[in-house]
Amino acid sequence: MLAPHHKQALDKHYGVGKYKKEINGESRNTPKRVWTTLITNTKYLSGLITLDYSLKKHGSKYPLVVLYTDAFPDEGREALEARGILMKRIEYLLPSVPKEYGNDPRFYDCWSKLAPFSLTEYDRVVQLDSDMLVLKNMDELMELELDPPEMGGDGNRVFAASHACACNPLKKPHYPKDWVPENCAFTSQHGDPDKAQREGASATAGIACPNGGLQVVNPSKGVFDKILATLQDQDLTASYEFADQSLLGERFSGRWVPIPYIYNALKTMRWKGVHDAIWRDDEVKNIHYILSPKPWDETMETTADESHKWWIKLNDERVAEDKAKGIQDGF
């Protein structure tokens, strides 16, 4: 059962009596459309809590449900409960033969970001990375047309996402050799920046790979069964350089819905010479703080990234509100 302060926080934001249980599987009051985010440790917890705060600040009608694995410690769950953030335990997903990600250990956790496809208690799930910050309401993603679940991944609108950026602006040597600006879907939009605010490039543009940070999903047993079968195929998973997003891009090639960058605005796109040709601060609805450092690792005085200041400012506001409520756990 929910602790009293947890229930009160939910009642205040979403309406009295709407949720009667923490969402851990069995509830007649389970919401039908939700945002989800994955967490496995407390390193991203400040980011996650501020993501939830930003969703609420911009008036989302839908709750965030945190998908946590057994590795997530009690102190993390206590921090979420104190703030009235819903939680749901999931199993940790991995290929049958683990792929080596020594250069990017974060990708070991990324397979579990495929879990929303299995959450058939919901009609719509929009999966968000915890290092995101919502700048404008984007509830319209809950209405975006996708294939119905019974199509089982055999249609042409299996899920929706923004493209991955293939520019590799930090010139990481372990990235695929074809990850260069001329092969990036966003580069193809430089000639029409107005259109880039409203439409994504074709699903087959550039390297034709979605970014896994935001996925719009109609959960489906048929789709998830295909994902699980792929995770058992050692030859396939060995070729997936970017875990979940590589799997989705390969298994459903050309059959996903590309949405504009504004819903998953990778912070590097704003940098001069990357995709500043299409980036517009006033159009971005959700910024994604990919790569290191994260904004919570910096201060207003030390950061060299203007977009990090947006996060730090909102986080300071959120922490002040937490303190006023008696929440001072360091997250």
**Residue type (1 letter), 131:** D
CATH domain 4-324 topology: Spore Coat Polysaccharide Biosynthesis Protein SpsA; Chain A (3.90.550)
pLDDT tens string 122-163: 999 999 999 999 999 999 999 999 999 999 999 999 999 999
pLDDT digits (tens, 9 = 90+) for 195-231: 999 999 999 999 999 999 999 999 999 999 999 999 9
pLDDT tens figures, 172-188 = 999 999 999 999 999 99
pLDDT-based confidence at residue 34 (cuts at 50, 70, 90): very high
pLDDT, the chain, mean: 92
> pLDDT at position 100, please?
80
- Please state the three-class secondary structure of the chain as a single string: CCCHHHHHHHHHHHCCCCCCCCCCCCCCCCCCEEEEEEECCHHHHHHHHHHHHHHHHCCCCCCEEEEECCCCCHHHHHHHHHCCCEEEECCCCCCCCCCCCCCCCCHHHHHHHHHHHHCCCCCEEEEECCCEEECCCCHHHHCCCCCCHHHCCCCCCCEEECECCCCCCCCCCCCCCCCCHHHCCCHHHCCCHHHHHHCCCCCCCCCCCECCCEEEECCCHHHHHHHHHHHCCHHHHCCCCCHHHHHHHHHCCCCCEECCHHHCEEHHHHCCCCCCCCCCCCCCCEEECCCCCCHHHCCCCCCCCHHHHHHHHHHHHHHHHHHHCCCCCCC
2-11, 19-28, 37-46, 212-221: the lowest-pLDDT one: 2-11
- Which pLDDT does position 15 carry in this prediction? 37
Tens of pLDDT, residues 250-273: 999 999 999 999 999 999 999 999
> What pLDDT is stored for residue 6 in this prediction?
36
Residue 51 structure tokens: 């993501």
pLDDT digits (tens, 9 = 90+) for 231-244: 999 999 999 999 99
CA separation for the pair 34, 107 (Å, rounded): 24
Q: Which amino acid is located at 107 in the chain?
A: F
User: CB neighbours (10 Å) of residue 261?
Assistant: 29
pLDDT in tens, 80-90: 999 999 999 99
**pLDDT for the residue 261:** 99
Band (pLDDT 50/70/90 cuts) for residue 298 is very high
Summarize the confidence of residues 70-79 as an average pLDDT: 97
Tell me what pLDDT residue 27 has: 54
Which residues make Cβ contacts (< 8 Å) with residue 229, sequence separation at least 6?
none
Average pLDDT over residues 62-74: 97
Interval 302-309 mean pLDDT: 97
The average pLDDT across 18-23 equals 44
